[in-house]
Amino acid sequence: MKRRELIQSAVALSVMGAFGGLSPALAQDAGAFRKVRREVPRSTPGKIDVVEFFWYGCIHCYNFEPKVNAWHKKLPSDVVFTKIPIAYQSQRVNFQGHQRLYYTLETMGKLDMAHSKVFEAMHKDKKQLANDEQIFDFAESIGLKREEFANVFKSFGVNAKCAQAKTIFEAYGADGVPTLGIDGKFFTSASIAGSEDNAIRVAEALIRRQRQA
C-alpha cells in the first residue's frame, strides 16, 4: 500500500511465482525488487538482516501477517528477522502513535500476546486508536496496566527505537507497506514482485545472494 493510499485508508477507518527458481539478476530484470536509497549496516555482524516494514492500519499488512509470520519462523539461523513499524508525517493519521504502540509492547515483552490483537482491533473491531488515550484504553482492555504502559509509551527508549525505525525506513527508500527489506541493500513487496508469494520467493533469492556475497 502506497503512502497516499495508507493515509486515505486510515481516514476511511476514522469515518466508519514465479521467481523461486530465478537468479537475483533475472529477478531484478523482471522488476521484482529494488535497490535501497542508502545501504544500511547490518544489525548483527555475520548475520543477514531481513526486515518487514508495516503499519497496523494497513489492510494489506493485516492480510500479509499470517504468511510472513509463518515464513520468518522457518528462516535459517544466519538470518535476523525484524518487524519495523513505519510512521509517515500526517496531521490526520496517528502513524506515530501506532509506531510507539508497537515499540511499547516490544519493550514490555508483550508483543507475542498483543501484536495480533492490535491488528484485529483496527481491522475487525474498527477501533481507530486515533490518539494516545485511545491507545491507552486499548492497552488496558487487553490486560495491561494503563499507567505502566503510558510511562513506557512516552519513554526515552521508545523514542530512540522510533528514531532508528525512521532512519532505516528512509535509507531503504521504500514507498509503501508491507515491504520486505533484505540486508540493508534491497527491498521487495507484493506490488513490486506481483504477489505476496512472489515477494517471499524473491526475498529468499536475495537472502541466498547475500549469503554468497
Q: pLDDT tens across 121-149, in order?
A: 999 999 999 999 999 999 999 999 999 99
Average pLDDT over residues 146-170: 98
Per-residue pLDDT band at 15 (split at 50, 70, 90) = very low
Note the pTM of the prediction, 2 decimals. Answer: 0.87
| Neighbour-count burial of 66, counting CB atoms closer than 10 A to its CB (0-12 exposed, 13-18 middle, 19+ buried) | exposed
Copy the grid coordinates of residue 10: 486510515
Per-residue pLDDT band at 18 (split at 50, 70, 90) = very low
Question: In this model, does residue 19 exceed pLDDT 70?
Answer: no
Question: In this model, does residue 23 exceed pLDDT 70?
Answer: no
Cα Rg of the chain (Å, integer): 17
Please state which CATH number belongs to domain 1-12+31-77+95-172. Answer: 3.40.30.10
Copy the grid coordinates of residue 27: 529477478
Copy the grid coordinates of residue 121: 482491533
Q: What angle in degrees, to the nearest 10, is found between the helix axes of 156-172 and 95-108?
A: 120
Domain residue ranges of the chain, discontinuous segments joined by +: 1-12+31-77+95-172
Per-residue pLDDT band at 58 (split at 50, 70, 90) = very high
% of the chain surpassing 70 pLDDT: 86
3-state secondary structure of 176: strand
Q: Return mean pLDDT, the chain.
A: 90
pLDDT (0 to 100) of residue 5: 59
- Residue predicted with more confidence, 137 or 22: 137
Residues 187-207: tens digit of each pLDDT: 999 999 999 999 999 999 999
